[in-house]
Amino acid sequence: MAARSAKGTPSWLGAVNDRVGLSALLDHGPLTRNRICEIVGVSKPTASLMMTRLLAAGVIEERGTVAGSPGRNAALYAARIDRPLGVAVDLDAAELRATVVDAVGTEHPVARFALPAAVADRDAVAEIRRAIADASAASGTDPEAVHTVVIGTAGYVDPGEEGTLFTETLPGWPVRRVRATLEAALGRTVFIENDVNLAAVAERDSGAGVDGEVFALVWLGNGVGASFDVAGDLHRGSFGGAGEIGFLPLSAEARAMDPDAQTVQDLVGGRAVERFVRAEGLPAGDHPTALAALAAASPEVRARFTAEFGERIAHAVLPLLATLDPRQLVLAGPVAAIGGDELAAVVQAAVRRISRWYPEVVATEVRDVPVLRGARTYLRAKVREDLLDTVASLVVH
């Protein structure tokens, strides 16, 4: 077997330089050799060797020229991002959404398809296989280039050996070893991540959490959950279930708002929204119908909703505030998107009135497929690392 390249040897230095050079092309786009020298801090002969090796490896390409010294044009080098690729998936009880992810986070089209209503018709492997195929077709990329899949869904997978899946939105999927099952069948690396955690990733990347050091995100939709972000790191808990606040029992004060409510989910979840909408004389056959009716409701109905649910949400988040004491609380999910800044202001005022905590409460800034956007951000880093590893791996015995 070949010997391992030792640190400081020419082969080791070449691998390091190649990785840094490819990183520069991923970060800055097409560059000339002289510009690569400036960014990476290497000599022109070293930069030329780097480009020669990366071209031979098939991970960069020449992409035209620019005017250089008198009488000469300088070649532009660009990273090839057509492989490896990933596919980000976001699915709920009714629909799956998927998009291709490359190493620079290009916006690829989103493929969508309805999921079977009957449990007997559900098939985890078939659904993710179709997600890869449909997303690749929508973006015009090769499905064989997809190495990694990230799946965002309500619930979580216990990181233990059995990999138990805890969710109510994936009927017919394996309960144990779901990740291993998918990886074996698809021949790809698979990650399954909680949807609220991915919404927090999106908020950190391009939403209300961009500039904050610490924030907690509360998801208000058909289900209720939370995520805690510290400088870009998510706290998932020892068993993967951190933030499952929907199961928490209510205080006496909170139960007084709705005597039939026993948990946070009962107080501010999908059925509570449906009951409010129905009481206003609007259609609420299911959660999507209720949300649509609320979004189109009169200002008076919206104001009543904001006042009532702002108070409810304030009581619901008190255990989260007492445990984590975040500086910023981001309200996310479809209900929060409808309520907007007005709902956030009511929650902030109510929290300060009924407790000793005073976080800044803000509305989400990521309203379009936030879970999918978070999955894409999460996966982009993994695809980038996968690409860089193709030119920077040390030779192992």
Would you say 58 and 80 are in contact if contact means Cβ atoms under 8 Å apart?
yes
Contacts of 62 (CB under 8 A, 6+ apart): 55, 75, 76, 77, 78
The CA distance from 130 to 149, in Å, is: 12
pLDDT classification of 70: cutoffs 50, 70, 90: low
**Distance from the Cα of residue 312 to its chain's centroid:** 27
Continuous segment of H or E residues that includes residue 15: helix 10-28
Lowest-pLDDT range of 29-33, 66-70, 302-306, 342-346: 66-70
Average pLDDT over residues 218-229: 95
Q: What is the pLDDT of residue 69?
A: 61
Record the pTM.
0.91
Would you say 378 and 198 are in contact if contact means Cβ atoms under 8 Å apart?
yes
Q: Which of 194, 210, 204, 209 is nearest to 243 (CA)?
A: 194
Is the pLDDT at 169 greater than 90, yes or no? Answer: no
Is the pLDDT at 281 greater than 90, yes or no? Answer: yes
Instruction: Report which residue type is found at 257.
Output: M
Q: Which two tokens stand for residue 256?
A: 């007084």
What is the dihedral sign for C-alpha 369, 132, 134, 137? Answer: positive
The CA distance from 29 to 27, in Å, is: 6
Q: Which of 114, 120, 119, 121 is nearest to 94 (CA)?
A: 114
**3-class secondary-structure state, position 218:** strand
Q: What is the DSSP letter of 168?
A: S
What is the dihedral sign for C-alpha 351, 354, 355, 356? Answer: positive
Average pLDDT over residues 35-61: 91
CA dist list (Å): 386 to 45, 85, 127, 179, 233: 27, 9, 25, 19, 21
| Average pLDDT value for the chain | 92
The residue behind tokens 């300088």 is 74
The CA distance from 25 to 29, in Å, is: 5
Q: What is the pLDDT of residue 180?
A: 94
pLDDT tens per residue across span 282-337: 999 899 999 999 999 999 999 999 999 999 999 999 999 999 999 999 999 999 99
Q: How many other β-carbons are positioned within 10 Å of the β-carbon of residue 98?
A: 30
Instruction: Enumerate the β-bridge partners of residue 220.
Output: 224
Q: Which two tokens stand for residue 368?
A: 């379009």
**Distance from the Cα of residue 44 to its chain's centroid:** 40
Q: What is the pLDDT of residue 93?
A: 86
